[in-house]
Amino acid sequence: SAVISQKPSRDICQRGTSLTIQCQVDSQVTMMFWYRQQPGQSLTLIATANQGSEATYESGFVIDKFPISRPNLTFSTLTVSNMSPEDSSIYLCSTGGTSPFGSGTRLTVV
Amino acid sequence: GENVEQHPSTLSVQEGDSAVIKCTYSDSASNYFPWYKQELGKRPQLIIDIRSNVGEKKDQRIAVTLNKTAKHFSLHITETQPEDSAVYFCAASIGMDSSYKLIFGSGTRLLVRP
């Protein structure tokens, strides 16, 4: 299974700013998935990142708020834009299937 | 839309007893059902999974059963130990393809009392 390196591991950000999270995979994968885990909650799929095409967003998530890049088959970024305290969560990337999640980014917005 | 319901939300058992967590799903196309264990401050870890062509799978003290007709699947932990205490999430794949994007249940907080 693929191994994902995710960074940053944590950050504290001011409201109104943006943070870009990076995931690097050790092998080429067709799809990458971005999830959000709000405090004390389950995981929610934000979007699917496809190489060479626009990301596919789930209901409740929009590109302006969570722009995603997928420049090649081993890398993806998720940006959390114009942050508010409600964006404080753990953000996780995945390649699906049995592969482990990335280590996660714990974001706190103050 | 698709959803996964998970019960119970909390479960407290005595060490050595069994624990059962149940999930139901709505998408008939779901064909992959993983279970994750999340310890405090850590990412979810896959502990067992089952595919739709199998009714039961076992790995040491944990087992998963799947009833596709009823759209139910369950996690069974036998001989529970304090280190089994964690939050457990079930999930189901969405859609017909094999990319295995997942929708998660709401989680079960399991406490194993010594």
**What pLDDT digit, counting tens, does each position of B64-95 carry?**
999 999 999 999 999 999 999 999 999 999 86
Q: Once rounded to an integer, what is the mean pLDDT over residues B14-34?
A: 95
Residues of chain B contacting residue A45, judged by C-beta atoms under 8 Å apart: 94, 101-103
Distance (Å, whole) CA A58 – CA B99: 15
Residues A66, A81: contact at Cβ < 8 Å?
A: yes
For residue B95, the model assigns a pLDDT of 67
* DSSP labels, A63-76: TTTS-EEEEETTEE
Residue A102: closest C-alpha in chain B:
B43
Burial track A14-29 (b if 16+ CB lie within 10 A, e otherwise): eeeeebebbbebeeeb
Element (H, E) at B36: strand B32-38
Residues A17, A107: contact at Cβ < 8 Å?
A: no
For residue A52, the model assigns a pLDDT of 81
CB atoms within 10 A of CB B16: 11
Structure tokens at B56: 């039961």
- Evaluate if residue B98 carries a pLDDT over 70: no
How many residues in total does chain B contain? 114
For residue B99, the model assigns a pLDDT of 62
Among A6, A10, A36, A42, the strongest candidate for a mutation testing the B interface, having the largest count of B CBs within 10 A, is: A42
Residues of chain B contacting residue A98, judged by C-beta atoms under 8 Å apart: 34, 46, 49
Structure tokens at B38: 């999340």
- The tens-digit pLDDT sequence of chain A (110 residues) is 788 999 999 999 999 999 999 999 999 998 899 999 999 999 999 999 988 888 999 999 999 999 999 999 999 999 999 999 999 999 999 998 778 899 999 999 99
